[in-house]
């Protein structure tokens, strides 16, 4: 079954099929002459792939012999009985405009009831959704390595859990499993024996796999619910691997052989004239007019010490951008100062940070426990973390450094923890809020006053020295970030009013901001109610909860806005702490109410499913 699932996922699951249909004839046309000619519309959107020509013909009172021709290519010759109907499905290739369809008969009185040119022969919607396309059309399937990972996980799942037991269960499960296996078999075999190819939707594939492995999945869930020790079975890591595969497949879809991973950086055409000279000849992916902030940090990565005046001119706000130098400087080192490797390194630092953070978070949220696994998913699939990947920003790496600082603190390496806090401040200045972990967690405070003062100085030193260096450069004043702070609760309350006013029950997009507000408010209220000063994650989360209340409208603007990135450490703290609470499940649901809005940021749109 794992081999079948691998073959289907790698070849017959289309991740982004767009149905394109041109209805040339929608109402019957009666032939007054033996030959009927129709000029087709512009078919440029269908160029490069086989297309389906679908026609419905009806004979008159007499039998009709009809020939269907596209330009000079005969697609079909058929005989239709008196008053009989016939549907023709033929595959061919077209390009551009000016094509002519001709239907020629041996008399008059017959009808062309329908004519369509499309990239598919038919489709089904709903839970069992698929498209039927010409046999020669390929599929935008998952990469083979993704399919292989999924197949290995399924094989591991089957070997770990065994076959379903119980006569009643087998009698109910077996027929449905046979149907699911039959569906996969038909999809794999259709293009071998017919002129058609069946491409399943991702949701249909997932449902089929769920049916085939229903017994094993139920056993795995029971093991997780019983808090089985994670060392007993690798099955405990199945959700973690599955999420990693999903996220990495989203990143892979943004890769282009010509432009590499620069689509993650989001360069804008409006800033191209002022870009550093090194970018003028670089093959960059430009997806919009204005792009996003990552384009400025990527140029800073080419000259992190700002020695070239062209770098200063390229930044929209040199003083503001240059403060966050850590990620650009790291990209410069990894890329050895060469333009193309530096750009690729900068684009992928967030991806590497995501993977390392996922491994590190297992320290507090071990695999094999249902609550901790859900908490891990709440962190790793959060909107703020995935947006940081998509836009190549510093939020993900700074969150990773904060997590490393807390791990060092809990290992009694306080000076290393202080150094890591200072390093995080160079990634993003608000990360210095994590300095609260350096404060004593219990009384008496006086015994550690000198040590805490020294560690605090160490945490502030990197940022202070860097700001001093930037001051010596006499950079232009900051024009970005002026609306980042405001009166307490002012921007927060305004966002609530705006979101509720724009809420439309039938429009899912209008729920994005509202669900984000519900999630972040739940996280903040949970931290306010628990008050676990002794736990370093609580101190970090509490600091960002206060930050959420004083950030300005610039952080809240948009759907849902930059707020999910700005308070990302609060989301980490909430999901790490909440699994220990007796009301874990409802708190987790509310605190991650916007969880489904994260994956679409990487192009993993739920409407495909």
Q: How far is Cα 494 from Cα 554, in angstroms, rounded to an integer? A: 12
Asked if 91 and 73 sit in the same domain, the reply is: yes
Q: How far is Cα 549 from Cα 521, in angstroms, rounded to an integer? A: 10
Upper half-sphere CA count for residue 183 (Cβ side, 13 Å): 22
**What's the CATH code of the domain at 50?**
2.60.120.260
Q: How far is Cα 384 from Cα 563, in angstroms, rounded to an integer? A: 8
Asked if 10 and 134 sit in the same domain, the reply is: yes
Residue 459: predicted pLDDT: 92
Does residue 309 lie within any of the structural domains? Answer: no
Residue 73: predicted pLDDT: 84
Range of the domain at 55: 21-119
Asked if 130 and 111 sit in the same domain, the reply is: no
Asked if 97 and 156 sit in the same domain, the reply is: no
Residue 34: predicted pLDDT: 87
Does residue 339 lie within any of the structural domains? Answer: no
Cβ burial 124-155 (10 Å sphere, 16+ → b, else e): eeeeebbbbbbeebebebbeeebbebbbebbe
- The tokens for 77 are 């010759």
Asked if 549 and 581 sit in the same domain, the reply is: yes
Strands 29-30 and 122-124: unpaired
Asked if 136 and 243 sit in the same domain, the reply is: yes
Residue 167: predicted pLDDT: 58
Does residue 85 lie within any of the structural domains? Answer: yes
The residue behind tokens 């306010």 is: 528
Using the 3D structure, point to which of 253, 287, 306 is the last residue of a domain: 253
The enclosing H or E element of 70 equals strand 64-70
Asked if 40 and 73 sit in the same domain, the reply is: yes
The residue behind tokens 């390595």 is: 145
Does residue 484 lie within any of the structural domains? Answer: no
Q: Are 529 and 591 in contact (CB under 8 A)?
A: no
The residue behind tokens 């920003």 is: 393
Q: How far is Cα 480 from Cα 596, in angstroms, rounded to an integer? A: 30
Q: How far is Cα 525 from Cα 544, in angstroms, rounded to an integer? A: 12
- The tokens for 135 are 């046999």
- The tokens for 353 are 């940070």
Using the 3D structure, point to which of 119, 153, 179 is the last residue of a domain: 119
Low-confidence ranges of the chain (pLDDT < 70): 16, 145-146, 157, 159-173, 217-235, 442-447, 477-482, 505-509, 604-609
Q: Are 552 and 486 in contact (CB under 8 A)?
A: yes
Read off the pLDDT of residues 436-477 as tens digits, 9 standing for 90 and up.
988 887 655 666 788 888 989 999 999 999 999 999 988 876
Using the 3D structure, point to which of 119, 150, 184 is the last residue of a domain: 119
Residue 546: predicted pLDDT: 93
DSSP state of 86: E
Q: Kindly report whether the global pTM for this prediction surpasses the value 0.75.
A: no
Q: How far is Cα 232 from Cα 255, in angstroms, rounded to an integer? A: 38
Asked if 157 and 206 sit in the same domain, the reply is: yes
Q: How far is Cα 128 from Cα 132, in angstroms, rounded to an integer? A: 13
56 beta partners:
87, 114
Residue 447: predicted pLDDT: 62
Asked if 102 and 242 sit in the same domain, the reply is: no
Residue 571: predicted pLDDT: 95
Does residue 186 lie within any of the structural domains? Answer: yes
Does residue 218 lie within any of the structural domains? Answer: yes
- The tokens for 145 are 């390595």
What total number of domains does the chain contain? 3
Does residue 295 lie within any of the structural domains? Answer: no
Tell me the CA distances in angstroms from 255 to 35, 252, 474, one per residue in order. Answer: 50, 5, 38
């Amino acid at each position: 079954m794992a081999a079948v699932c691998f073959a289907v996922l790698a070849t017959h699951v289309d991740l982004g099929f767009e149905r394109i249909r041109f209805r040339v004839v929608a109402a019957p046309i009666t032939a007054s002459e033996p030959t009927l000619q129709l000029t087709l519309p512009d078919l440029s959107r269908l160029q490069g792939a086989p297309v389906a020509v679908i026609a419905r013909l009806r004979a008159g009172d007499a039998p009709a012999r009809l020939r269907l021709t596209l330009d000079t290519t005969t697609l079909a010759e058929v005989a239709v009985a008196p008053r009989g109907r016939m549907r023709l499905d033929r595959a061919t290739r077209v390009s551009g405009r000016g094509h002519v369809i001709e239907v020629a008969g041996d008399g008059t009185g017959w009808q062309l009831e329908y004519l369509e040119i499309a990239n598919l022969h038919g489709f089904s919607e709903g839970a069992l959704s698929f498209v039927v396309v010409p046999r020669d059309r390929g599929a935008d399937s998952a990469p083979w390595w993704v399919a292989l990972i999924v197949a290995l996980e399924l094989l591991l799942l089957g070997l770990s859990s065994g076959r379903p037991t119980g006569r009643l269960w087998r009698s109910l499960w077996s027929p449905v499993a046979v149907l699911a296996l039959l569906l996969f078999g038909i999809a794999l075999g259709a293009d071998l024996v017919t002129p058609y190819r069946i491409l399943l939707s991702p949701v249909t594939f997932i449902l089929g796999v769920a049916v085939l492995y229903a017994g094993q999945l139920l056993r795995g869930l029971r093991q997780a619910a019983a808090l089985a020790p994670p060392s007993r079975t690798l099955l405990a890591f199945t959700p973690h691997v599955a999420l990693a595969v999903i996220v990495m497949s989203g990143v892979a879809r943004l890769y282009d052989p010509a432009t590499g991973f620069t689509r993650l950086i989001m360069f804008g055409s409006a800033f191209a004239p002022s870009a550093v000279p090194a970018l003028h000849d670089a093959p960059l992916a430009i997806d919009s007019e204005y792009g996003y902030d990552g384009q400025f940090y990527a140029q800073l990565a080419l000259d992190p010490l700002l020695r070239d005046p062209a770098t200063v001119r390229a930044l929209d706000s040199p003083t503001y951008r240059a403060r966050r130098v850590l990620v650009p400087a790291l990209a410069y080192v990894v890329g050895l100062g060469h333009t193309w490797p530096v750009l690729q390194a900068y684009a992928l630092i967030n991806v590497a940070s995501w993977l390392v953070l996922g491994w590190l978070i297992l320290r507090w949220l071990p695999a094999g426990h249902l609550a901790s696994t859900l908490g891990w998913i709440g962190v790793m699939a959060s909107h703020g973390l995935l947006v940081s990947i998509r836009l190549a920003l510093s939020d993900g790496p700074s969150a990773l450094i904060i997590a490393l600082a807390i791990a060092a603190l809990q290992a009694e390496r306080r000076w290393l923890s202080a150094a890591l806090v200072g390093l995080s401040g160079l990634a993003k200045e608000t990360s210095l809020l994590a300095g609260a972990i350096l404060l004593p967690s219990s009384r008496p405070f006086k015994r550690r006053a000198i040590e805490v003062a020294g560690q605090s100085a160490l945490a502030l030193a990197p940022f202070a020295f860097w700001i001093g260096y930037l001051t010596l450069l006499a950079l232009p004043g900051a024009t970005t970030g002026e609306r980042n702070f405001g009166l307490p609760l002012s921007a927060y309350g305004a966002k609530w009013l705006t979101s509720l006013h724009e809420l439309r029950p039938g429009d899912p997009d209008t729920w994005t901001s509202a669900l984000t507000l519900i999630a972040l408010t739940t996280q903040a209220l949970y931290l306010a109610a628990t008050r676990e000063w002794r736990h370093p994650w609580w101190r970090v989360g509490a600091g960002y909860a206060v930050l959420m209340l004083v950030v300005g409208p610039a952080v809240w603007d948009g759907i849902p806005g930059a707020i999910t990135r700005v308070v990302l450490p609060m989301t980490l703290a909430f999901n790490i702490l909440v699994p220990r609470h007796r009301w874990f499940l409802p708190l987790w649901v509310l605190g991650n109410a916007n969880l489904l809005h994260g994956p679409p940021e990487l192009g993993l749109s739920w409407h495909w499913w």
